[in-house]
Amino acid sequence: MKQFSLTKEQLVEALHARGYESVNVRQITDWRTRDLLPRCDVRGAGRGRSLGREESSWSDGQRIIEQSVWIIELLNLYGGYGYVYVPLWLLGYPVNLDRIREALSGPLERTISSFERDCTSECNMEDVLSDAAYKLAAKLQTEESEIVHVPADAIELMLNVFINPDYDLTDHGAFEAWQLWQEQCQRLQASWSRSSTHIVAADSLDSLLNLASKVKQYLSVAEIKCAVDEASYNDLREVGRDIQLMRRMWSMFTELLSRKMRDDIYLPQDLILRLALGLGRIAIYVDISLRKNGYGPDIDSLLRDAVRKLETAFHEQLDTPETLAAHAG
């Protein structure tokens, strides 16, 4: 598609044509002020003495229209500007890195403060997290998709590993609950498949304990927040390059998954989008923290191998090099 320039007024017209009729120039200006849209990169030409300049514009009009559509949809999905920056970044749009750092750090700070605020002399952190886990589990039980019906004990385990610095990893009952949920997910995955699928055994208690220990060391909320706050612009740009690879893998993975799932399986689009963006945010947190702790080369190697394996599987399943090339973009 041929690239074209776009002014704010033209952007409003384009969005109206797509059905977003409530958008106006003032709103576009607000998005720009909040760094949801990039600055105009084409300066308006002069009109002569005392007549000022023509309106500035964006050189890549199509991309700006698409980004604006996503801004609207994400605001509808999440309800606040602060929740839009990271999803836009995950979707491949340029976002001010200070905004990204703030959007990544803020939820972590609020999470830590919220749980610490609820702690008292009679109710320690583990008690607070247990109460939160059972409330969340009850809420998840109301969702249609069984895959999010996570046992309360498993949620409590996750919360303690990520949030509680004093958690000693000795609650074997919680690890067994996690194993049960793993098995449930495996059964659901098998039931969704068009063909017979071998159900993989859940992780052993020893492997889960080892994983939990590593997570607690490098991926606790406090550790991740420290890594995010200390991340330089170059660190964030490096994560941005990783996001490009992850987005490419996600595109191929979802295409492969859609071909394996039975036709009668329906997953709500907003659930899929929330899941994808939620996993993307988690991946960013993991990436930043592990790179801070010296695992950058391992991440680079892992991503290269994962892309190569997915490309191989994608090519074997679709047997169309043209489709593979299209997804590489």
What tens-digit pLDDT sequence spans the chain (329 residues)? 678 899 999 999 999 999 999 999 999 999 999 999 999 988 865 554 554 557 889 999 999 999 999 999 999 999 899 999 999 999 999 999 999 999 999 999 998 899 889 898 888 998 999 899 889 888 887 876 665 677 788 888 888 888 888 877 777 676 777 677 667 666 666 665 555 555 555 566 566 667 677 778 888 999 999 999 999 999 999 999 999 999 888 887 677 666 665 555 555 577 778 888 998 999 999 999 999 999 999 999 999 998 898 888 877 776 555 555 555 55
Kindly state whether residues 40 and 102 are assigned to the same domain: no
What number of CA atoms fall less than 13 Å from residue 287's CA on the CB side? 23
Last-in-domain residue among 58, 83, 108: 83
Kindly state whether residues 157 and 258 are assigned to the same domain: yes
Residue 90 within a domain: no
Give the pLDDT confidence score for residue 146 in this predicted structure.
64
Kindly state whether residues 256 and 125 are assigned to the same domain: yes
- Measured CA to CA, the distance from residue 9 to residue 21 in angstroms comes to 13
Kindly state whether residues 112 and 68 are assigned to the same domain: no
* Residue 318 buriedness (CB in 10 A; 0-12 / 13-18 / 19+): middle
The number of folded domains in the chain is: 2
Kindly state whether residues 138 and 219 are assigned to the same domain: yes
Give the pLDDT confidence score for residue 212 in this predicted structure.
74
Last-in-domain residue among 36, 56, 83: 83
Kindly state whether residues 107 and 160 are assigned to the same domain: yes
Output helix, strand, coil percentages for the chain, rounded to the nearest 5: 70, 0, 30
Kindly state whether residues 135 and 283 are assigned to the same domain: yes
Contact yes or no for 243/85 (Cβ under 8 A): no
Provide the residue range defining the domain that includes 46: 8-83
Give the pLDDT confidence score for residue 236 in this predicted structure.
96
Kindly state whether residues 321 and 256 are assigned to the same domain: yes
Residue 2 within a domain: no
Q: State the pTM of this model.
A: 0.75
Contact yes or no for 70/93 (Cβ under 8 A): yes
Residue 321 within a domain: yes
Kindly state whether residues 71 and 112 are assigned to the same domain: no
Kindly state whether residues 125 and 273 are assigned to the same domain: yes
Last-in-domain residue among 32, 48, 83: 83
Amino acid at 106: G
Amino acid at 317: Q
Q: How far apart are the first and last CA of the chain?
A: 14
